[in-house]
Amino acid sequence: MNEQHQDERVRIREAMDRLLSGQATVSNGSHTVLALATEAGIHRVALFKRHVDLKNEFNERVRKETHQVPESEKRLRETVTKLKKTIANQEAEIEDLRQQVTRLALASAVLTQESDRQADCARASDNVIPLPRPMI
């Protein structure tokens, strides 16, 4: 590890301690990775690329020491909940469409059979007019 890399790690650990003790000096004090990067004076991408272990450690410490769920996990849970609702709605819609297809297929079969019956009657005799079927 080079000296700059080591210096970043030290600043990140110090920033973690300040955030978790409620003594933020530069950031807004929230328990987010963005606040950690701001507090440490590094770009947030550095946490995601070079210091993933420290980012994960921070999230674990937030969970253990403050008994809070990290913001990223909250957003993911909300997204999962929304997606589950979407899936349930789509499954209900699919079931409704399947029932509608069944009803339409049955109606088509009845109409085809009725049309065939009328065609047979017309061929049987040209001078007989069938009476319409009574409506039930």
pTM: 0.52
Q: What's the mean pLDDT when you consider all of the chain?
A: 86
Residue 83 has a pLDDT of 96
Burial label for 19, CB within 10 Å (0-12, 13-18, 19+), is buried
Closest among 43, 79, 75 to 59, alpha carbons compared = 75
Closest among 69, 77, 64, 81 to 30, alpha carbons compared = 69
Q: Is the pLDDT of residue 89 over 80?
A: yes
Name residue, tokens 């994960």. 56
Q: Is the pLDDT of residue 122 over 80?
A: no
pLDDT interval class at 124 (50, 70, 90): low
Q: Helical H runs in the chain?
A: 3-21, 33-40, 44-49, 52-66, 71-124
Measure Cα distances from 53 to 111, 119, 128, 135 in Å.
69, 79, 90, 76
